[in-house]
Amino acid sequence: MADISKISPNGGTTIYDIKDAVARNSIASKQDKLIWDSAPTSGSTNPVTSGGIFTAIQNASGSGTIVQWDDLTASQKSELISAAAAIIEEDIGSTDSMEF
């Protein structure tokens, strides 16, 4: 069982002793029952370790594909320009005076 004898409810600036043995044992026994996942797992209700979260974020951030403008077809470029114009128009109201 984990040694739970102090608690810091406000982020560590103040530490309180847990003098009540029943409360201390109750907290410790709950901590020992946690089952940790080493990576985010679909459908799991278990907490995930910080290393698992870090690795998942690192892996996800590198999963995009970078495409050079010159590698796009004329049709793909046109679609991107239209999509960008729609976003700009939604934000500022009109793209009539803009050159593309």
pLDDT of residue 38: 92
pLDDT in tens, 33-75: 778 899 998 899 988 998 888 888 877 766 566 778 888 899 9
pTM: 0.36
Is the pLDDT higher at 3 or at 67? 67
Secondary structure letter of residue 38 according to DSSP: S
Length of the chain: 100
How many angstroms separate the CA atoms of 57 and 72, rounded?
29
* CB-based contacts of 46, cutoff 8 Å, min separation 6: 34, 35, 36, 37
Q: H-type helices in 1-100, by residue range? A: 21-33, 50-61, 74-92
pLDDT of residue 69: 87
pLDDT in tens, 10-35: 555 565 666 666 666 666 666 667 78
